Amino acid sequence: MAANPLDVISEDHLRERQICAAIDGLAMAAFPDRQAAQTVLRFLDGELNVHLRDEVEDLFPLLARRCTAEDSIESTIGRIRSDQDEVIRLLPEVRAVLAGCLVSGPGLSVEDRALLTLFAGRVRRHLVAENAILIPIARARLTRSDLRVLAKRMQVRRGLSSIQETGNAE
Ligand SMILES: [Fe+2]
């Protein structure tokens, strides 16, 4: 894992952007690409879940603690969280549509395509707001100790043991 956990979050956002492009591709294709659907499904079940938890459980609380009133971080976090909540709410239906892409059939309905487009739009809006606002503020405000805590929590969530920590190895 990269030394700075904020770099890891930025890398996750790059990956999310690629996944959004794959979802848009599925929404537009005459016949869905099974491989692409499989890749997106795997991402939604694994990395996306971990990423959202990194932010909601660790990054947002650290930011809320460190930021000053002039950062108006609460309203930004509020907006991002409402997009995340919608992403989570749409997930079961999106999963079902993607699972349908894995079996041969008549292709996606108009409603399925609209759902995929809506979902990709919400994921993209969350990452754009975070890249433009939250990550730069986090780089300015989080202390070195905050970053260590964040890195540690993200490593644990990924099943990685910390390289720097000593004495607590299993
Ligand atoms: Fe994010």
Confidence of residue 73 (pLDDT cuts 50, 70, 90): confident
pLDDT of residue 89: 96
Q: How far is the CA of 55 from the centre of ligand 1 (A)?
A: 7
Query: Residue 165 pLDDT > 60, yes or no?
Result: no
Domain range list for the chain: 5-157
Closest-CA residue to 130 (of 2, 16, 1): 16
Q: How far is the CA of 16 from the centre of ligand 1 (A)?
A: 8
What is the model's pTM?
A: 0.85
8-27 per-position pLDDT tens digit = 999 999 999 999 999 999 99
Question: Which two structure tokens, joined as six digits, stand for 93?
Answer: 């239906």
pLDDT of residue 1: 60
132-157 per-position pLDDT tens digit = 999 999 999 999 999 999 999 999 99
Percent of the chain clearing pLDDT 70 (strictly above): 93
Mean pLDDT of the chain: 89
Which DSSP state fits 59? I
Closest-CA residue to 126 (of 12, 5, 1): 12
Q: How far is the CA of 40 from the centre of ligand 1 (A)?
A: 16
Phi-psi category of residue 31: left, alpha or beta, with phi > 0 → left and psi -120 to 50 → alpha: beta
Q: For domain 5-157, give the fold.
A: Four Helix Bundle (Hemerythrin (Met), subunit A) (1.20.120)
